[in-house]
Structure 1
């Protein structure tokens, strides 16, 4: 123990603590208060990046599930999903329902001026998110193989030109596009 300038007995301080005491003394604070503040701050638990991410995700999930406007979103929503929902609300995007062969309907959100390629990317994004959320890790999907062996059909017409706008194909908001296996062409 040593006696400080203001007559308070203090223990030997580390360099960081002594600089905090000096700064507090310069502000007119007593050294004892600064040491107590420093000791209180030293008790803060140190978390790894992964642990912090988990805490933040759980906190956001709680906020989203309790909010009446956001509770229809997935608890672990991505920024892209939020931006899509905002674009839908402002009328800048549309929902195209892609019907799979097993009858499942996938609501894919694309911009109003989207092309067929944008729709395919939306299907890829939606499937990847569904697989990530349903299992521990998403299995690798060869999307080149998928698009080589499957077509998107709308009103009995196959959609083959990736650069064609969805509006040019006649696809509007909430229309259904069918996802079907390609037949071999002769």
Structure 2
């Protein structure tokens, strides 16, 4: 009987020791999980709110815009404006100065092979960006604008939207003006 008791004690001790060995492993796993949760919480705390991220981004963008090639661009620059400025530097685009009746001159950037329609679209984009930045008029009816005004270069109206600007003789830094159409009676 003593051998049976010893065997049972050994068996009990073996089970008990196995349970004891499992507890530290479980405790370590629980500790690891808690540490991972704490790390995730710290990472969440380190994550920036959207407004702070935008502020940091705009500061970085302001540094980029200080580059001599990009210094003409506004602080709230768009990708399209950066691309057009780079295209200007590489000679792939040209600046057409569009003069309004009130004396304002708009520097419009278009590709070298631009058509009259491309110029009109570029004028529209320029005006929309300007209004967003300055908070001007909410909506312009471009159908009305093109129905009541001509674009004129050296006395010649740019009427054919499909014709290239170069065919009219428009080159880099040339001035095109808005001219009110005369009514036919």
Shorter chain as normaliser: what TM range?
0.7 to 0.9
Q: Give the one of 25, 28, 31 matched to 1:5.
A: 25
Distance change (3 Å), C-alpha of 1:56 and 1:117 = farther
Distance 2:69 2:114 in 1: 27
TM-score by length of 1: 0.74
TM-score by length of 2: 0.75
Distance 1:175 1:116 in 2: 14
Q: Alignment partner of 1:96: what SS? A: strand
Q: Alignment partner of 2:46: what SS? A: coil
Range with bigger deviation, 160-169 or 67-76: 67-76
Distance 1:54 1:41 in 2: 19
Structure 2 residue aligned with 1:128: 128
CA deviations over 1:83-121 (Å, ceiling 9, x no partner):
101110111100110010011110100111110000001
CA deviations over 1:99-144 (Å, ceiling 9, x no partner):
1001111010011111000000111011111111101x76111100
Structure 1 residue aligned with 2:97: 97
Q: How big is the alpha-carbon RMSD for the aligned residues of Structure 1 and Structure 2?
A: 2.8
Residues 1:40 and 2:60 are matched in the alignment: no
Q: What's the CA shift for 1:46?
A: 5.9
- How many residue pairs end up in the alignment? 163
Distance 2:100 2:116 in 1: 17
Structure 2 runs not aligned, ≥5 long: 1-22
Structure 1 residue aligned with 2:76: 76
Q: Alignment partner of 1:113: what SS? A: coil
Distance change (3 Å), C-alpha of 1:68 and 1:6 = farther
Alignment of 1:8-87 (within 5 A): 21=32, 37-45=39-47, 47-48=49-50, 51=51, 54-87=54-87
Q: Alignment partner of 2:120: what SS? A: helix
Residues 1:118 and 2:138 are matched in the alignment: no
Structure 2 residue aligned with 1:27: none
The question of whether the paired residues in 1 share the 8 Å contact of 2:70 and 2:82 is answered with no
Q: Alignment partner of 2:94: what SS? A: strand
Structure 1 residue aligned with 2:163: 164
Q: What's the CA shift for 1:180?
A: 1.4
The question of whether the paired residues in 2 share the 8 Å contact of 1:94 and 1:109 is answered with yes
Q: What's the CA shift for 1:66?
A: 4.5
Distance change (3 Å), C-alpha of 1:67 and 1:175 = closer
